[in-house]
Amino acid sequence: MSKIISIKEAADKVTEGMSIMVGGFLANGTPENLIDALVEKNVKNLTLICNDTGFPDKGVGKMVVNKQFKKIIATHIGTNRETGNQMNSGETEVELVPQGTLAERIRCGGNGLGGFYTPTGVGTEVAEGKEVRELNGKEYVFETPIKADVALLRASVVDKKGNMIFNKTMKNFNPVMATAADLVIVEADKIVEIGEIDPEHVMCSGIFVDYIVGGDE
């Protein structure tokens, strides 16, 4: 069965109240066409897991401006003033997570792990309400895994099985997010036939991918 579907079909799989992981770093590696489709659909009360909230006119920032999130889990929000406005007004809950911690929490979610201890955040607001344990004379904060209902990714080249290649820094959070969601949709810049990607060049396996949009569709 083909994994290739239309942008509209992909957007229809995201429904109110879902949690979504979105690849990207300052919108580089973010599936812009999928984001535009979700803005048009105007689906609400979503939880976003993403490195950042992009810009007001780029990346997931467009969904922030459209007030589609009830909660945002991100490493920083400084490039999108609207996120800060919604956080300060209490309209949107924002959980700020250190970047490496966010990546590891997602990795744990994707690998079925129960969490991990990290020194990052000890003695700060990051550690509030969390277990702090001393190991070998050093304090560590216990962080729990993160998973999502849907992961929305972007890759440079994708074959029809979903095997992915990322162009340079487009890779960022995309591969780890592919492992940590119940449904994974990748937006491809280019779709190629099975076998056209050398197995040695695959950066993320198609075994994680449920649907593909874009490319040559």
- What pTM, to 2 d.p., does this model score? 0.94
Q: Is residue 185 within 8 Å of 10, Cβ to Cβ?
A: yes
Q: Can you list the residues of the chain whose pLDDT is less than 50?
A: 217
Cα 75 to Cα 49: distance, rounded to the nearest angstrom:
9
Cα 193 to Cα 8: distance, rounded to the nearest angstrom:
23
Per-residue DSSP letter, 25: B
pLDDT digits 0-9 by tens, 118-161: 999 999 999 999 999 999 999 999 999 999 999 999 999 999 99
Q: How far is CA 12 from the centre of its chain?
A: 18
CATH architecture of the domain with range 7-113+145-214: 3-Layer(aba) Sandwich (3.40)
Sorted by where each begins, the domain ranges of the chain are: 7-113+145-214
- 27 sits in the region (left: phi over 0; alpha: psi -120 to 50; else beta) called left
Q: What is the pLDDT of residue 216?
A: 53
Find residue 84's DSSP bridge partners: none
Cα 60 to Cα 43: distance, rounded to the nearest angstrom:
13
Q: What is the pLDDT of residue 215?
A: 67
Cα 76 to Cα 98: distance, rounded to the nearest angstrom:
8
Q: What is the pLDDT of residue 187?
A: 98
